[in-house]
Amino acid sequence: MADITRRAGWRHLRSAPTAHIRYHRGGRIVHDGAGLSFWFRALSAALSEVPVDDRELAMAFHARTADFQDVSVQSTVTYRIADPGAAATRLDFSVDPDTGVWRGTPLEQIAGLLTESAQQHALDVLARIPLAEALVDGVAAVRDRMAAGLAAEPRLPDTGIEVVAVRVVALRPEPEVERALRTPAREQIQQEADRATYERRAVAVERERAIAENELASKIELARQEERLVDQRGINARREAEESAAADAVRAEAEATRTVRLARAEAEAAREVGAARAEAQTAWLRAHADVPAATLHALAATRAAEQLPRIEHLTLSPDVLTGLLARLGGGTGS
């Protein structure tokens, strides 16, 4: 919408770069172009504003397939006004000189023209194919047919309209039919999911079995190794016992030999000692055979005195001394 301001009976119009302005005064075109800005008098001015930017037109309509199934078509048509002069001549793009608002509804007229033409071509395509084919390949077929039909529509270039692009968003059947169509697919997907689950379980079971077999084989091998270890330990123990017994026998034999030799040496020494003692005793007896008895008694007393405990002090009374002298004197006289 153009921006119009008022100043003392004059009007000033300022348009956007995407709006084409045509200013007629007295039946003649004074200004014609996009993004214009000028002063004018409202009573003598005839203004029209034609948008020249790309516009999106959303469409939604129902169609029927070859097997009499209803489908809804959602599409979008992008268009632009390539010839603003032709569009301003064929459609009412005039604006109020005081407010800059369109007096008519030109864009609605263009939307109706595009919708009717596009819908006609889409219906013609869908009426020739069944629902299943329409749901699989219908989007591309409808899009191509709509684009070709709008390009061949003679009213559009005469009105200055150029179709930039056509997009078909979706083709949808009725909800009940859609649910019925989804059921086999869902069941197939579920079957595939179940099959995949079973396969994963089977793979897991197979892996667990392989793991269990490996563990069992490891345990068996370990038991065999332990059995070999026990046998080897037994052999080692027997060998050690045999070697220990042999060592003990050698040690015992050596000890017995040593004991016998020691006993023989002790016996020989004892015999020699006995013989020496006997010879000494014999010699002692021979030496004392010729000694007087009084001398022997004196020696015996001396030996006996040597065995008596030590006497620190000895007190002899006169009576004991007299008797002892008398005995000694008597012994000497005899």
Encoding tokens for residue 231? 């046998």
Cα-Cα end-to-end distance for the chain? 191
Question: Which tens digits make up the pLDDT trace of 201-257?
Answer: 999 999 999 999 999 999 999 999 988 999 898 898 888 888 888 888 888 888 888
Average pLDDT value for the chain: 86
User: Could you please report the per-residue DSSP string of 238-249?
Assistant: HHHHHHHHHHHH
**CA 211 and chain centroid, separation:** 22
pLDDT band at 9 (very low <50, low <70, confident <90, very high): confident
- Record the pTM: 0.54
Contact 126, 138 (CB under 8 A): yes
Identify residue 43 by its one-letter amino acid code: L
Torsion of CA 51, 52, 53, 57, to 10 degrees: 70
71 φ/ψ angles, rounded to the nearest 5 degrees: -135, 150
Q: Would you state the pLDDT for residue 333?
A: 43
Encoding tokens for residue 94? 């005039």
Q: Would you state the pLDDT for residue 243?
A: 87
Q: HSE of 17 in the Cβ direction (CA atoms, 13 Å)? A: 0
- 132: three-class secondary structure by DSSP: helix
